[in-house]
Amino acid sequence: MPTVSPALDLDSHYPLTADQIARFRQDGYIKLKDVLSADVINHYGPIITSEVYRLNTMHLPIEQRDTYHKAFLQVGNIWTENETIKEFCWGQRLARIATELLGVKGVRMYHDQALYKEPGGGVTPWHADQYYWPMSNANSVTAWIPLQATPMEMGPLAFAKGSHKFEAGRELGISDESEKEISRSMKEHNYPLDDTPFDLGEVSFHYGWTFHRAGRNTSDQARAVMTIIYMDQDMRLIEPGTSAREMDRQKFAPGIAVGEVMNSHMTPMIYPRA
């Protein structure tokens, strides 16, 4: 990879405390401040944004879209399209955080995904990401990386604390039904809602089974967010079982048989623990 300015630090160690790791495992998520510098975000953010709008295939007006597509513009595997974005996605700082939070030997990148909530964009309904992923265990985590400070009016990510241990609703993809049913379940079972803004440089990490949502974007600026999904380096492919998981198998586990480690060229090792 090309040499980058020391100000563009993607690789140095972010020191996690034992309390932070324990809190992540108990709550199912954690928000960490000052993970990325303003220099990093201001350098990589515009490049990510440019690629998102170049690769985006959703051009219907918001009012003509269904609930899923009102929530955000969604573009994945951007690392395969742009070397600078690959450099960002392969950074060691985020991957080491993911490894330490999960308590695994190392992590692969399952994929990247930009989620841009346009001005006027709708809610992101309650859901758990791993509904879409044919993974053999719960050792997956999404780094949610806002590319600007994200106040409430932009629709920051919100989490149901401790919900990664709650199994009802895992069969629901993002939809009006998931918003209604999971919202009701979270209230009935007294899972606290953490719905707070993100500062510039703040990054959240949540398990694949943690229930989360986001509000509307009522601002006049797109809520630009990059995500990187990490999984245990020894994660194995399970029988997909649903069309959504079958699509992911074809994208991210080509040539991998059910029961084998998901070590395809689309799921590169990012951080192996020494």
Query: Mind listing the pLDDT tens digit for each residue in 116-130?
Result: 999 999 999 999 999
Q: Which residue shows structure tokens 């997956």?
A: 140
Say how far apart CA 20 and CA 25 lie, in whole Å.
9
Domain ranges in the chain are 27-253
Q: CA-CA distance, 230 to 105, in Å (whole number)? A: 12
Gyration radius of the chain's alpha carbons: 18
The full DSSP string for 169-235 is TTT--SSHHHHHHHHHHHHHTTPPEE---B-TT-EEEEETT--EEE----SSS-B-EEEEEEEETT-
Q: How confident is the model at residue 273 (pLDDT cuts 50, 70, 90)?
A: low
Give the model's confidence band at 5: pLDDT under 50 very low, under 70 low, under 90 confident, else very high: low
Adjacent-strand bridge partners of 67: none
**Gap between the Cα atoms of 111 and 129, Å rounded:** 12
Q: Is the pLDDT of residue 255 over 60?
A: yes
Q: Is the dihedral of CA 128, 134, 138, 144 positive or negative?
A: negative
Percent of the chain at pLDDT above 70?
A: 97
Q: Identify the DSSP state of 132.
A: G
pLDDT of residue 6: 58
DSSP string, 53-68: HHH----S-GGGS-HH
Q: Averaged over 81-97, what is the pLDDT? A: 97
The string of pLDDT tens digits covering residues 104-158 is 999 999 999 999 999 999 999 999 999 999 999 999 999 999 999 999 999 999 9
DSSP state of 6: T
Distance CA 266, CA 255 (A): 11
CATH of 27-253, one of 3.20.20.105, 2.40.128.120, 2.40.10.10, 2.60.120.620: 2.60.120.620
**Is a pLDDT exceeding 50 seen at residue 160?**
yes
Residue 254, pLDDT > 50, answer: yes
Predicted local distance difference test score (pLDDT) of residue 2: 45
Q: Is the pLDDT of residue 3 over 60?
A: no
Report the pLDDT averaged over residues 223-245: 97
Average pLDDT, the chain: 96
pLDDT at 14 over 60: yes
**85 phi and psi, to 5 degrees?**
-70, -35
Query: pTM surpassing 0.75?
Result: yes
How many Cα neighbours within 13 Å face the side chain of 83?
4
What's the pLDDT band for 257 if we cut at 50, 70, 90? very high
pLDDT at 166: 97
DSSP sequence for 142-170: EEEEESS-B-GGG--EEEETTGGG--TTT
List C-alpha distances in Å: 179 to 65, 182, 184, 188, 212.
17, 6, 8, 14, 10
The residue-averaged pLDDT of 232-261 equals: 97
Picking from 165, 37, 13, the residue whose alpha carbon sits closest to that of residue 100 is 13
**In this model, does residue 1 exceed pLDDT 50?**
no
168: number of Cβ within 10 Å = 12
Structure confidence by residue, pLDDT tens digits, 15-67: 999 999 999 999 999 999 999 999 999 999 999 999 999 999 999 999 999 99
